[in-house]
Amino acid sequence: MKTLKALSWLAVFSVLACTSSEDNGQSDSSTAEYKVLSDLAEKTKITASALTKVDSFPRNISEGKTNWNLVDVKDWCSGFWPGVLWYAYEASGDEALMKDAIRFTLPLKEIAYKPAENHDVGFMVNSSYGNAYRLTGDEEYKEVLIAAANNLVTLYDPKVGTILSWPSQMENYQYNTIIDNMMNLELLFWASKNGGGQNLYDVAMSHAEKTMEHLVRSDSALYHVGSFDQKTGKFLRGYTHQGYATESMWARGQSWGIYGFSVAYRETGDEEFLKTAIRLTEHYIDRLPEDGIPFWDFDDPAIPNAPKDASAAAVAACGMLELAGLVEEPALKEKYEKAAESYISKLSSSEYLSGDTNEALLLHSTGHYPHDSEIDMPIIYADYYYMEALLRLKRLKNP
C-alpha cells in the first residue's frame, strides 16, 4: 500500500498566509494543500481497485486489520464510500476515480424506489447520487435523487410534524426522531427546488422546526432521540441512544446539529435556525478538549481515558465552514473558519491520518460506544466528511 505522508496543516496555512504568487497574486504554496488531497485521492484509487463487488461497501476496519469490512446496499453507511470516490475525483480530476465512483453509486439506485425503512435514505443517496449529479449534471442521477426524496417523506407524520427516524425502534421510543435526521433534510430542500415539489420543502421545514423545539436543550446540547405520542403529536421526552446519558453531550450528535441547522438556515432563511446553529457551535467549541478533537461523549466520566471521535470533528469542521459562509459578523466568520481549519489540521496529522496502516484515511472514530460497536477504529463516514472538509477548505483558500 502506498504510504500517505501526513503534512502539517498548521505549517501549510502559515505559509499560505504569508506567501503570494508573483504571477497572479494567489498563494503559490497552495501546492502543499493540493498535495494532501492528491495523496488521499491516490490512496482511495488504490483501495477502489481492489474492491470488485460493487454491491459491497466499506464500513469499518477491525483492530489489527488493513482491509475494510464491507456491508451491503441496505446498510446506512453504503453511500459514503461512493461519496468518498466522488470527492477523490473532484480533488484530482482522475477519470479512473470517476469510473469507480459511478460503479459504486449505481447499485444504490434501489434505495430510492424501495419502501423507506428509515431516515437514512438521505445519507445513502445524497452522498452518492447527490455528488454524482453535482459533478456530472447527468439527469439520470437527478431522477434518482427526486425519487429518493419522495421516498423519504413517506416516513413523515403530519400530526407529529417530523420524519420517523427508526420504525424498528417504535417499541423502545414510540414515534422517534433523532438529531442525525437533520442531515437528511438537505436532500428534501434540494429536490423541492429541482422539480420535486413544494411538499418536500414543507416537510423539511416542519421537521427542522420540531427538532429545534424539542431536541435542542436549554444547555445548548442535544438529545439524540426525541420521543413523541403518534396519536396526539405531543413530545414525550428526550433520550440518548448512542451517547453516555440522556443529558450528556454526545459528540457526533452535536456535530450533526451544527451542520444540519446551518443547512436549514441556508435553505430557508429562518433566523431561528441560524441562532440555533450558532448556539450549538459555541457550546461545542467551549467544551472541546485542548487538542480540538472531541471524546466520543463530552461527559464520559472516563475522560481523559475515553476514546476520541474523529468523525465528529470532521462533521463539525464541515458544519462550521458552512456556518462561516452564512453569518454576517466578520468576527464570527473568522472564528468558525479558524476553528474548522484547526480541526482539519489535527486530523491531517500523523496522529489521525492512517498512512499505510490500513485502507482508511482516518483513524480513531467511535460509532456506538454503549453497544460496544466500532470503538476507536476507522469508519467510512469519518473519511467522507474529512474529504468534504478538505475540499471546502480548499475552495475557501483558493476561490
**Catalytic residue annotation:** 120, 180
Cβ-contact 363, 378 below 8 angstroms: yes
H or E segment and range at residue 98: helix 95-105
| Measured distance CA(32)–CA(91) in Å, rounded | 13
Whether the Cβ atoms of residue 246 and residue 239 lie closer than 8 Å to each other: yes
DSSP line for 267-333: HH--HHHHHHHHHHHHHHHHH--TTS--BSBTT-TTTTSSPB-HHHHHHHHHHHHHHHTT---HHHH
Distances (CA, A) of 266 to 4, 124, 262: 36, 22, 6
Write the DSSP symbol of residue 67.
S
Q: Which of 76, 77, 75, 56 is nearest to 67 (CA)?
A: 56
Q: Are 164 and 155 in contact (CB under 8 A)?
A: yes
Question: Residue 263 and residue 4: Cα distance in Å, rounded?
Answer: 33
Rounded to whole angstroms, what are the CA distances from 12 to 15, 352, 358?
5, 17, 25
Q: Which DSSP helix (H) or strand (E) runs through 190?
A: helix 185-191
CA angle in degrees (0–180, nearest 5) for 122-123-125: 65
Q: Closest Cα to residue 152, out of 198, 120, 180?
A: 120
Residue of 371, 355, 260, 274 lying closest to 315 (CA atoms): 260
For residue 57, list its beta bridge partners: 71
Q: Which three cell numbers stand for residue 148?
A: 429518493
